[in-house]
Amino acid sequence: MSHGTRDTACSDIAVRYPAGMSKQPSHPSYPIDETHDPKLESWVESANDPSTDFPIQNLPLAMRLTEADDGDGFWAGIVVAVGDELLDLNLLAASDIFDDDDDDWDFMSIEDLMADGLWSRLRPKVQRLLRKDDKRLRDHRERGRIMSPAEGAVFALPLLTGIGDYTDFYASIYHATNVGSMFRPENPLLPNYKWIPIGYHGRASSIVASGAEVRRPMGQTVADGESEPKYGACKRLDYELEVGAFIARGNEQGEVIPIGEAEEHLFGVCLVNDWSARDMQKWEYQPLGPFLAKSFATTISPFIVTMEALAPFRCGAFVRDKDDPKPLAYLRSDANEKFGGIDMQVEALISSKQMRDKGMEPVRVSRTSFRHMYWTIAQMLTHHASNGCNMQAGDLIASGTVSGPGAGEAGCLLEATWKGAGKDREPIKLPTGETRFFLADGDEVTLRGWCEREGFRRIGLGECRGVVTPAKG
């Protein structure tokens, strides 16, 4: 593939700490500041472990479910992950610690924190509270209630009112080229691909939180060699390794979101598994695109890692081949070109039931970087609103399968088992001797993501997990 050796402009930025931190180049909407100082440590010792996803430079948000005292149901509260502990933000707000603070500590949900940039103002204050030298919470009589172990916690979807609208893009040119090659070897990329961030409207109601079981869908499929479909259980169930972005601020219907303002409409990112029924997809996708092959379930990771936390890991947008068209002017800006990407490692792992019963570790099937995406999140958002479509706070846009240029960088099984046109498919081999072209009942798929860069603390997205359960006919 001609894009195989291309890389993004990440290496051109040459960020080094600590010489004049405020002057470090970064996206103009999300400056690198003292909250990213890698020397900051917390009195929560596990947050200082170099391998944690959640040092105090991260502070992602989630909704935790807590069983009611009377055992009658659950209530959901906002938590911030710090090392292997969770800080209950509602209890913190109700305590006397910020009594003298001017900001609004009277929030109920992450939606409230998205509004008017509230969390952007509170984040440095919460970080200050968690620093090693700060005693306000560390020595507080309510510390034992406000802080609790993350182990065993159950999370809801991050938004109390549910995900608004959900749109899934198709922004990896490697994924689009690979999949296109399977169906149209002579013409893998359709002519619009390099002009339009391609997407489809997904189904928000079937988005589930990490850990929820995913039932194998029923649907119409046509067996090889047959000409008519049968209705039955999907036989080619796949995962798709994706990154999602939450919208914090929408636009009025009939108005657009200029590329120069798109980043300020974003709140943060999570991992997305866009479960896909390949046999149903193959039969239904023409002429109008994915429908029931995708809408039965989509799993997201519980934590939203905010745009502020990602600031040190921004990188250039995809560097296009010289023969590729430039994006049209409404999809182009200097800031997007220099800092529109995110250098985030992502990986997908599988474990079969047999593997888990034997205590075996999951097997990694895919690993790549989000920086390889042909379109940036800002371009996807700007394009989405470019016809006057009104985006709303709480909407989720997903990137499409994140596949990179090299071997082992395919973000779904359809690609990972494909060895090229005219070649036999090769299954994924599991340590039990089992093999997989597609997912079997009982298989668990785990997605992970993290950012690393010299001179900064590593931050992670946590995990996005789901187990496949048998179809219900």
Interacting residues with Ca ion (CB under 5 A): 168, 240, 274
Is it true that the peptide bond before 470 is cis, omega within 30 degrees of 0? Answer: no
Residues facing 436 on adjacent strands: 428
Are 260 and 333 within 8 A, CB to CB?
yes
How far apart are the C-alpha atoms of 33 and 47, rounded to whole Å? 19
Give buried/exposed letters for 88-110 (b at 16+ CB in 10 A, else e): bbbbbbebebbeeeeeebebebb
Residue 154 has which token pair? 């159950």
Question: In Å, what is the CA distance from 22 to each residue of 30, 236, 456?
Answer: 11, 50, 14
In the complex with Ca ion, which residue's Cβ is closer, 165 or 168?
168
How far apart are the C-alpha atoms of 259 and 378, rounded to whole Å? 6
In the complex with Ca ion, which residue's Cβ is closer, 97 or 196?
196
In the complex with Ca ion, which residue's Cβ is closer, 17 or 283?
283
Residue 65 has which token pair? 């479910």
Nearest approach in angstroms of CB 146 to Ca ion is 38
> Comparing C-alpha atoms, which of 421, 422, 423, 399 is closest to residue 411?
399
Nearest approach in angstroms of CB 200 to Ca ion is 8
How far apart are the C-alpha atoms of 167 and 458, rounded to whole Å? 29
How far apart are the C-alpha atoms of 65 and 63, rounded to whole Å? 7
Nearest approach in angstroms of CB 163 to Ca ion is 15
Nearest approach in angstroms of CB 166 to Ca ion is 11
Residues facing 272 on adjacent strands: 242, 300
Backbone angles phi, psi at 243, to 5 degrees: -120, 135
> Comparing C-alpha atoms, which of 390, 388, 387, 411 is closest to residue 400?
411
In the complex with Ca ion, which residue's Cβ is closer, 198 or 259?
198
Nearest approach in angstroms of CB 274 to Ca ion is 4
Nearest approach in angstroms of CB 203 to Ca ion is 12
Are 161 and 393 within 8 A, CB to CB?
no
In the complex with Ca ion, which residue's Cβ is closer, 172 or 446?
172
How far apart are the C-alpha atoms of 106 and 94, rounded to whole Å? 8
Nearest approach in angstroms of CB 242 to Ca ion is 6
**Amino acid at position 314, single letter:** R
In the complex with Ca ion, which residue's Cβ is closer, 53 or 240?
240
Q: DSSP for 351-376? A: E-HHHHHTTPPPEEEEEEEGGG-SS-
Exactly one of 27, 36, 175, 265 is catalytic; name it.
175
Residue 206 has which token pair? 């079937």
Nearest approach in angstroms of CB 400 to Ca ion is 5
Are 28 and 262 within 8 A, CB to CB?
no
Give buried/exposed letters for 170-202 (b at 16+ CB in 10 A, else e): bbbbbbbbbbbbeeeeeebeeeebbebbbbeeb
In the complex with Ca ion, which residue's Cβ is closer, 312 or 400?
400
In the complex with Ca ion, which residue's Cβ is closer, 165 or 240?
240
Residue 274 has which token pair? 């866009």
Are 51 and 458 within 8 A, CB to CB?
yes
Nearest approach in angstroms of CB 243 to Ca ion is 11
Active site residue 175: yes
In the complex with Ca ion, which residue's Cβ is closer, 233 or 293?
293
* Residues in CB range of 70: below 8 A, 6 or more apart: none
Are 111 and 249 within 8 A, CB to CB?
no
Residue whose Cβ sits closest to Ca ion: 274
- Tell me the catalytic residues: 175
